[in-house]
């Protein structure tokens, strides 16, 4: 076993301690405090996403961890070694990094760039040995960059260059990878492939910390998230724990809905349009189902209108949309007729709302129930097609009467 491999094993074998420990870290840049008294630990073998708004200090935290950024106060250890006491070569054996932006305007080939990842492992005047060549080839292969390995780095696209930088970090064969926006310039195919690759690496006792702006991808591919805001790590835990509406709205200062994606079964963070400054105080009750009812909910919510919807089958696609936008739902089992409770809830909702919107065609149950509900004609709206929705919502926001029964 050569010293490189021994070093790697030393670092990965001490599994009882976290791979990263940050204690009371403070960093100021340009006279302003960016991180203040931050403490967190990162366990081995995980993919940890660092999320947070622009300027929150994600890059500053990652650069403190990989030893390339300043630390004013506090202590950081990686694999038990104090970052501030590690030499550059030792750090490079512990942490492979992909920075947010790198100028690679000099004339190296892609392969030469990836070979640079082996520098910490070879002696100053030594040549690459069999292990080095194997690591470089494996890194090129896994990142699907071998097909242009002999091209100049200046002659590949931004997304391809990003993958080359991931390959260079992989070739370094470190127990910790720190990636600053690894998917920033990647198309959806390469973004998901890169994060799938990251997942596979992490399951091999390698820890990955990645700043990720796309919260949906972060939820899908990370074991754990660190939410950075206001100079601190304000939440840490599984994506389901961290991606709560209150925490995300506080950190990003925008309204969000966080439904579960039906395809990936992970959280999706959907920013909602800001409620207009003259916040609409109108409420609606929507009677209808399916896609058109969903469009009415979204359009109403974007205009700051709140309210309720029903009676809906529990399995109707509009239920999730209504819940995500804070609309109350009156639901019934798809297999049985609505209960008395449901019926009285519908009557109460129609009475309480400033407006009632019927999404045509109504199903038989709602048609029958509505015939027994009295709604004044100036509160009664109907939509039959998508292009009518905005007109109805605008009229409600303007607090107009329903002069006609439909648009």
Ligand X SMILES: Nc1ncnc2c1ncn2[C@@H]1O[C@H](COP(=O)(O)OP(=O)(O)OP(=O)(O)O)[C@@H](O)[C@H]1O
Positions in the binding site for ligand X (CB under 6 A): 29-30, 34, 52, 54-60
Q: What is the dihedral of CA 112, 117, 118, 124, to 10 degrees?
A: 80
Nearest alpha carbon to residue 119 among 173, 74, 78, 70: 173
- Cβ 63 to ligand X shortest distance, Å: 8
Which of residues 166 and 296 has its CB atom nearest to ligand X in the complex? 166
Cβ closer to ligand X: 63 or 355? Answer: 63
Q: Which two tokens stand for residue 327?
A: 């609309």
Q: Which whole-number Å values give the CA distances from 370 to 156, 261, 347, 377, in the listed order?
A: 63, 33, 8, 13
- Nearest in space to 133 (alpha carbons), one of 125, 141, 104: 141
CA dist., res. 2 & res. 140, Å (int): 23
233/318 with CB nearer ligand X = 233
Give the nearest distance from C-beta 98 to ligand X in angstroms: 14
To ligand X, the closest distance from the beta carbon of 306 in angstroms equals 32
**Minimum CB separation from ligand X for residue 248, in Å?**
15
Complex with ligand X: residue 29 or 155, whichever CB lies closer:
29
| b/e 191-206 (16+ beta carbons within 10 angstroms → b) | bebbbebbeebbeeeb
**Backbone φ/ψ region at 45: left (φ over 0), alpha (ψ -120 to 50), beta:** left
Contact status, residue 375 vs residue 356, Cβ threshold 8 Å: yes
Tell me whether residue 57 or residue 182 sits nearer to ligand X (CB atom): 57
Give min distance, CB of 65 to ligand X, in A: 12
Smallest distance from ligand X to CB 250, Å: 16
d(CA 392, CA 257): 23
Nearer to ligand X, 29 or 133 (CB): 29
Radius of gyration of the chain (CA): 28
Joined together, the tokens standing for residue 304 give: 């700051």
Which residue's Cβ has the minimum distance to ligand X? 30
CA 44 vs. chain centroid, Å, equals: 21
Q: Minimal distance in Å, beta carbon 178 to ligand X?
A: 12
Task: Decide: 137 and 146 in contact? Cβ < 8 Å.
Answer: yes
Residue 140 or 218 with smaller CB distance to ligand X? 218
Q: Which is nearer to ligand X, 56 or 197 (CB)?
A: 56
Is residue 42 within 8 A of residue 19, CB to CB? The reply is yes
How near is the Cβ of 58 to ligand X at its closest, in Å? 4
Q: How many CB atoms lie within 10 A of CB 108?
A: 15
Can you tell me the distance from the alpha carbon of 36 to that of 281, in angstroms, rounded to the nearest whole number? Answer: 40
């Amino acid at each position: 076993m050569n010293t490189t491999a021994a070093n790697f094993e030393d670092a990965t074998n001490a599994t009882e301690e976290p791979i990263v420990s940050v204690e009371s870290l403070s960093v100021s840049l340009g006279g302003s405090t960016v991180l203040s008294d931050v403490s967190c630990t990162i366990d081995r073998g995980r993919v940890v996403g660092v999320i947070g708004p622009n300027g929150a200090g994600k890059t500053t935290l990652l650069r403190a961890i990989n030893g390339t950024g300043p630390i004013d106060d506090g202590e950081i250890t990686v694999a038990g070694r104090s970052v501030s006491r590690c030499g550059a070569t030792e750090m490079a054996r512990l942490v492979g990094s992909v920075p947010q932006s790198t100028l690679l305007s000099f004339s190296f080939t892609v392969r030469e760039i990836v070979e640079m990842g082996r520098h910490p492992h070879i002696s100053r005047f030594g040549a690459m040995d069999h292990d080095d060549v194997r690591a470089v080839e494996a890194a090129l292969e896994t990142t699907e960059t071998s097909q242009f390995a002999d091209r100049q780095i200046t002659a590949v696209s931004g997304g391809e260059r990003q993958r080359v930088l991931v390959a260079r970090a992989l070739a370094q064969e470190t127990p910790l990878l720190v990636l600053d926006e690894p998917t920033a310039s990647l198309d959806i195919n390469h973004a998901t492939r890169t994060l799938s690759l990251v997942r596979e690496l992490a399951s091999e006792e390698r820890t990955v910390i990645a700043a990720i702006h796309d919260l949906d991808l972060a939820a899908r591919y990370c074991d754990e998230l660190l939410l950075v805001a206001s100079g601190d790590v304000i939440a840490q835990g599984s994506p389901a724990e961290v991606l709560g509406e209150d925490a995300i709205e506080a950190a990003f200062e925008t309204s969000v809905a966080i439904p579960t994606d039906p395809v990936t079964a992970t959280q999706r963070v959907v920013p909602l349009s800001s409620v207009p400054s003259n916040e609409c105080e109108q409420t609606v009750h929507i009677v209808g189902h399916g896609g058109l009812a969903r469009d009415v909910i979204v359009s109403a919510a974007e205009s700051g209108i709140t309210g309720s919807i029903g009676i809906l089958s529990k399995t109707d696609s509009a239920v999730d949309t209504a819940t995500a936008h804070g609309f109350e739902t009156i639901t019934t089992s798809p297999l049985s007729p609505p209960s008395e409770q449901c019926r009285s809830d519908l009557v109460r909702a129609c009475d309480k709302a400033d407006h009632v919107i019927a999404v045509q065609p109504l199903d038989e149950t709602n048609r029958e129930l509505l015939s027994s509900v009295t709604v004044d004609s100036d509160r009664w709206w109907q939509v039959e097609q998508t292009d009518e929705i905005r007109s109805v919502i605008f009229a409600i926001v303007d607090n107009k009467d329903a002069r006609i029964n439909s648009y």
